[in-house]
């Protein structure tokens, strides 16, 4: 399945979610810039807050592999794709490198979103939280989101995306109360491949937009 744009795909997801959640306390949480574009029509249809969990992934040197990611709270979440023994080996070998990258990532996030942040626990408490991505093929952003949500009492966890890999769906279907995935791919290509239009705003513009939405909502 291919989509004209992320907004069109978001409208299709909104149709699926509308009947069940239109009268519920809902918060839509985007996991990426593309997730914001998908999440906008969902939040608009459900008349709820749209926010974003900003994180920065950290790669293992010399490998196209994320060992984990830093959240906007400064917490570091290891990738659930890695076995504890693999994590131990990488952290032993690259300890100093990872610590420096964590500090850089947290500083970068703070510089981008400012002191107020773009999401806090009270926005989500006792709400149905809908985590939205434009394409799920990497577990890192989900791992960070699930860690972020652990101390928060929420009513229900829903994960929604236009497209996802079989491996990710298999991994998260026991974690979420509901999955809304429009198309599941055995051989997942680059996320942009599934959209005819890929003219997204810059990361800075997306975060600025979310900041304005959150300030208005508060």
Mean pLDDT, range 133-140, rounded to an integer: 93
In a shared domain, residues 138 and 207: yes
pLDDT confidence tier of residue 165, bands split at 50, 70 and 90: very high
Average pLDDT over residues 63-90: 93
118 confidence band (pLDDT: 50, 70, 90) = confident
Over range 134-162, report the average pLDDT. Answer: 94
Identify which of 71, 210, 202, 88 has the alpha carbon closest to the alpha carbon of residue 142: 71
Task: Give the per-residue pLDDT at 115.
Answer: 55
Specify the pLDDT at position 186.
Answer: 94
Q: Pick from 85, 113, 141: which residue ends a domain?
A: 113
Per-residue model confidence as pLDDT tens digits over 11-20: 999 999 999 9
119, 36: one domain: yes
The boundaries of the domain holding residue 133 are 6-55+115-217
CB 69 within 8 A of CB 56: yes
Q: Does 98 lie in the same domain as 73?
A: yes
Mean per-residue pLDDT of the chain:
92
Are 150 and 207 members of one domain?
Answer: yes
* Helix 203-217 vs helix 33-46: crossing angle, to nearest 10: 30
In a domain, 1, yes or no: no
Residue 185 clears pLDDT 90, i.e. is over it: yes
Residue 159 lies in a domain: yes
Structure-block tokens of residue 110 = 């703070």
Q: Evaluate whether 60 touches 74 at the Cβ level (below 8 Å).
A: no
What is the rounded distance in angstroms from the CA atom of residue 104 to the CA atom of residue 113?
14
Residues 94 and 126 in one domain: no
| pLDDT above 60: residue 101 | yes
For 46-68, what is each residue's pLDDT tens digit?
Answer: 999 999 998 999 999 988 899 99
Q: Residue 159: phi, psi to the nearest 5?
A: -115, 125
Query: What is the total count of domains within the chain?
Result: 2
Within this chain, do residues 104 and 123 fall inside the same structural domain, yes or no?
no
């Amino acid at each position: 399945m291919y989509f004209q744009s992320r907004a069109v795909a978001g409208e299709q997801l909104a149709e699926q979610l509308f009947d069940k959640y239109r009268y519920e306390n809902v918060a839509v949480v985007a996991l990426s810039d593309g997730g914001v574009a998908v999440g906008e029509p969902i939040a608009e249809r459900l008349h709820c807050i749209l926010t974003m969990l900003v994180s920065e992934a950290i790669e293992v040197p010399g490998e196209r592999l994320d060992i984990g990611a830093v959240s906007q709270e400064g917490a570091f979440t290891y990738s659930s794709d890695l076995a504890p023994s693999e994590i131990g080996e990488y952290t032993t070998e690259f300890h100093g490198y990872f610590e420096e990258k964590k500090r850089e990532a947290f500083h970068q996030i703070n510089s981008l979103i400012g002191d107020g942040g773009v999401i806090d626990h009270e926005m989500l408490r006792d709400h149905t939280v809908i985590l939205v991505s434009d394409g799920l093929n990497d577990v890192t952003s989900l791992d960070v989101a699930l860690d972020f949500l652990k101390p928060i009492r929420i009513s229900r966890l829903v994960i929604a995306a236009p497209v996802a890999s079989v491996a990710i769906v298999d991994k998260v279907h026991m974690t979420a109360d509901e999955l809304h995935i429009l198309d599941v791919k055995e051989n997942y290509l680059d996320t942009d491949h599934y959209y005819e239009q890929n003219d997204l705003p810059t990361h800075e513009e997306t975060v600025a937009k979310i900041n304005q939405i959150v300030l208005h909502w508060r």
